Amino acid sequence: MKKQVALGIDIGGINTPFGFIDKEGNYLAEGHIETQKHEDINDYLKELHLAIEKVLDTIRNSVELVGIGIGAPNGNYYTGAIEFAPNLRWKGVLPLCTLMKEYYPNLPVFLTNDANAAAIGEMIYGGAKGMKDFVMVTLGTGLGSGYVANGALIYGHDGFAGELGHTIVSPNGRQCGCGRKGCLETYVSATGVKRTAYKMMAKYNDPSELRAIPFNDMTSKMVADAAHRGDMIAKYTFDYTGKMLGEALANTVAITSPEAIFLFGGLAKAGDLIFKPTKDHMEMNMLKIFSNKVKLLPSKLDKNAAIYGAAALVWNELKK
Amino acid sequence: MKKQVALGIDIGGINTPFGFIDKEGNYLAEGHIETQKHEDINDYLKELHLAIEKVLDTIRNSVELVGIGIGAPNGNYYTGAIEFAPNLRWKGVLPLCTLMKEYYPNLPVFLTNDANAAAIGEMIYGGAKGMKDFVMVTLGTGLGSGYVANGALIYGHDGFAGELGHTIVSPNGRQCGCGRKGCLETYVSATGVKRTAYKMMAKYNDPSELRAIPFNDMTSKMVADAAHRGDMIAKYTFDYTGKMLGEALANTVAITSPEAIFLFGGLAKAGDLIFKPTKDHMEMNMLKIFSNKVKLLPSKLDKNAAIYGAAALVWNELKK
Contact B157 A252 (CB under 8 A): no
Q: What are the φ/ψ torsions at residue B310 (nearest 5 degrees)?
A: -65, -40
pLDDT digit string (tens) for chain A, length 320 residues: 899 999 999 998 889 999 999 999 999 999 999 999 999 999 999 999 999 999 999 999 999 999 999 999 899 999 999 998 877 889 899 999 999 999 999 999 999 999 999 999 999 999 999 999 999 999 998 999 999 999 999 999 999 999 999 999 999 999 999 999 999 999 999 999 999 999 999 999 999 999 999 999 999 999 999 999 999 999 999 999 999 999 999 999 999 999 999 999 989 999 999 999 999 999 999 999 999 999 999 999 977 888 999 999 999 999 88
Identical fold for domains A3-121+304-319 and A132-298, yes or no, is yes
- Predicted confidence at residue A67, as pLDDT, reads 98
The minimum CA-CA distance between B147 and chain A, rounded to whole Å, is 8
What pLDDT score was predicted for residue A171?
92
Q: What b/e string do you get for B179-207 counting C-beta neighbours within 10 Å, with b at 16 or more?
A: ebebbbbbbbbbbbbbbbbbbbbeeeeee
Considering CB atoms only, which of B157, B251, B294 is closest to A133? B157
**CB nearest A254 (choices: B163, B254, B289):** B163
pLDDT at residue A309, rounded to an integer:
94
- pLDDT value of residue B13: 85
| E strands present in A72-220 | 75-76, 81-83, 93-94, 109-112, 134-139, 143-149, 152-153
Superfamily of domain B3-121+304-319: ATPase, nucleotide binding domain (3.30.420.40)
Give dist(CA B22, CA B84) in Å, integer. Answer: 32
- Check residue A87 and give its pLDDT: 79
Residue B51's pLDDT is 98
Smallest CA–CA distance, residue A145 to chain B, in Å, is 9
CB-CB contact of B47 with B38 (8 Å) = yes
Q: Pairing mode, if any, of strands A143-149 and A134-139?
A: antiparallel
Contacts with A164 from chain B: Cβ below 8 Å = 254-255
pLDDT at residue A86, rounded to an integer: 79
Contact between residue A250 and residue A205 where contact means Cβ atoms under 8 Å apart = no
CB within 8 A of A61, min separation 6: which ones?
none
Please name the member of A156, A163, A285 whose beta carbon is closest to the beta carbon of B133: A156
List chain B residues with pLDDT less than 50.
Answer: none
Measured in angstroms, the CA of B55 and the nearest CA of chain A are apart by 37
Measured between CB atoms, does A105 come within 8 Å of chain B? Answer: no
Q: What is the pLDDT of residues B293-313, one digit of tens each?
A: 999 999 999 778 889 999 999
Chain Cα centroid distance, residue A138: 4
Q: Any idea where the domains of chain B sit in the sequence?
A: 3-121+304-319, 132-298
Chain B residues with CB under 8 Å of A160 CB are 257, 289-290
Res B304: pLDDT? 85
pTM: 0.94
Contact criterion met (CB below 8 Å) for A36 and A13 = yes
Is the CB of residue A150 less than 8 Å from the CB of residue A133? yes
Specify which residues B16 forms β-bridges with. Answer: B33
Handedness of CA A296, A301, A306, A310 (dihedral sign): negative
Is B285's CB within 8 Å of A179's CB? no
- State residue B84's pLDDT score: 86
Residue A302: per-residue pLDDT: 78
pLDDT of res. A320: 81
B 251-270 → A contacts, CB under 8 A: 251-252, 254-259
Contact A152 B150 (CB under 8 A): yes
In DSSP notation, chain B reads: -PEEEEEEEE--SSEEEEEEEETT--EEEEEEEESSS-SSHHHHHHHHHHHHHHHHHTTTTTEEEEEEEEE-TTEETTTTEEES-TTSSS-SEE-HHHHHHHH-TTS-EEEE-HHHHHHHHHHHHSTTTT-SSEEEEEESSSEEEEEEETTEE---SSS----GGGSBSSTT-SB-TTSSB-BGGGTSSHHHHHHHHHHHHHH-----GGGGS-GGG--HHHHHHHHHTT-HHHHHHHHHHHHHHHHHHHHHHHHH--SEEEEESGGGGGTHHHHHHHHHHHHHHS-GGGTTTSEEEE-S-BTBHHHHHHHHHHHHHHH-
User: If one looks up domain B132-298 in CATH, what number appears?
Assistant: 3.30.420.40
Contacts of residue A157 in chain B, CB cutoff 8 Å?
131-133, 257-259, 293-294
A147·B255 Cβ contact <8 A: yes
Interface test with B, best of A113, A249, A289 (most B CBs within 10 A): A289
> Closest by alpha carbon to B261, among B103, B143, B89?
B143
pLDDT value at residue B319: 86
Evaluate whether A73 touches A10 at the Cβ level (below 8 Å).
no
A51 touches chain B (CB under 8 A): no
**pLDDT number for residue B66:** 97
Q: How high does pLDDT run on average in chain A?
A: 95
DSSP 8-state code for residue A181: B
pLDDT score for B86: 79
Do A316 and A111 touch, CB atoms closer than 8 A?
Answer: no
pLDDT of residue B137: 97
A159/B257 CB distance under 8 A? yes
**CB distance B256–A180 less than 8 Å?**
no
